[in-house]
Amino acid sequence: MTVRVGFLGAGLIAGVHARSLAASGADFAFAGAYDADDARLAAFASLTGASVCSSASEVVAGCDAVYVCTWTSEHPELVALAAAAGRPVFCEKPLATDLAGAVEMHRTVTEAGVINQVGLVLRSSNAFALLRHLVDDPDSGRLLSVTFHDDQCLPVEGWYDSTWRGDAAKAGSGVLLEHSIHDVDLIEAVGGPVARVSGNLAYTHARPGIEDVVAATLGYASSAVANLTTVWHDIPERLNDRRVEVVCERLWVALEGDWVGPIKWQRAGSPVQRLRGSELVDHAVELGIDRANADGDFIAAVADGRPASPDFGDALRAHVLVDAIYRSARDAAVVDIPSPGSGSAEVR
């Protein structure tokens, strides 16, 4: 089955997904696309061969699956449009500008029974897969700490060719929601459920409602502790960098770079080991933990009529954590997190 894919939003992220689809080997075809910016839409159509549509409804009517790649405030309405038509939907992260919106979007796709996937694409990283494999190895012992550093050039104008991430009405808020929702998702993927959080925010660029520095402590249910620092800065040559250091009872591991490392680790009585690039990917393949192309996975799920992953439920959990950190910073309080699937966070 060739899956006809429509795009709502034709900017930078839509182009990233289009290239990823083309590289995935999936059996798909570009259908229609719509964007409020005519120049962006024309450029996307030229890149992909997609038909230029005059409305979101026209895109949805002419495709088998929909990508929602607009600014965040538009996601709920467009996902609802796709779901009402019974179309599988891939939505960029974050789902919505706040937790309530994410809850409603999860309800929408669940009640409609449509296949859904979210752009938490770092779950497809072989580098993070190897990190998790090392931490999960029984020889590593109990997890003790995770230190997560994320810095990115302020994503307005420049390489991003947009300004909407600096507008709280469109983005919801700043670096934590728009960017580091990836990070809180990975923090739970590495260490299991988070039970409590505390956070601090700063607004150094003086953009209303757009925080650009966040420091958060996340306490795992296991009693391990994670610390997250995420920053938007003004170094255009440094687009984005993530560094993660994990200490277990009998393992130290450090990862630099989202996708291909390098990753270094050491166990008691052993020298430091190091992998990067193709060697890292080859090792993941040997271990059977290599990750497939996330966009290709979505198309395969649609073709097979099976659930996709990560789905809106996974994204909702990340929204719960993000919302709790914001409330902690606002109220100067520790926020308790319910176990996955049990409801909203409570302030103590």
Give the CATH number for residue 173: 3.30.360.10
In a domain, 348, yes or no: no
Task: List pLDDT tens digits, range 93-120.
Answer: 999 999 999 999 999 999 999 999 999 9
Given a cut of 90, is residue 291 above it in pLDDT?
yes
- Claim to verify: residue 185 and residue 285 sit in the same structural domain: yes
Region 18-26: mean pLDDT is: 97
Mean pLDDT of 132-144: 97
Same domain, 72 and 113: yes
The bridge status of strand 89-91 relative to strand 65-68 is: parallel
Phi and psi at 247, nearest 5°, equal -120, 125
Mean pLDDT confidence for 62-68: 98
Residues 161 and 186 placed together within one structural domain of the fold: yes
Pairing relationship of beta strands 346-347 and 335-336 according to DSSP bridges: antiparallel
Which residues are 302's β-sheet partners? none
Indicate whether 302 belongs to any domain: no
Residue 152 and residue 69 in one domain: no
The CATH number for 60's domain is 3.40.50.720
In a domain, 44, yes or no: yes
Split into its structural domains, the chain has a count of: 2
In a domain, 303, yes or no: no
* CA dist., res. 173 & res. 165, Å (int): 8
Residues 151, 84, single domain; the answer is no
Domain stop point among 121, 151, 182: 121
Q: Could you tell me if 256 and 182 lie in one domain? A: yes
Which structural domain, as residue segments, surrounds residue 68? 3-121
**Same-domain status, 229 and 327:** yes
pLDDT at 344 over 60: no
| Whole-number CA gyration radius for the chain | 20
> Within this chain, do residues 273 and 138 fall inside the same structural domain, yes or no?
yes
- 244 in any annotated domain: yes
* 136 contacts: CB under 8 Å, gap ≥ 6: none
Question: Does 153 reside within a domain?
Answer: yes
pTM for this model (two decimals): 0.96
Could you tell me what percent of the chain has a pLDDT over 70? 98
Same domain assignment for residues 18 and 89: yes
Structural domain ending residue among the three candidates 121, 136, 161? 121
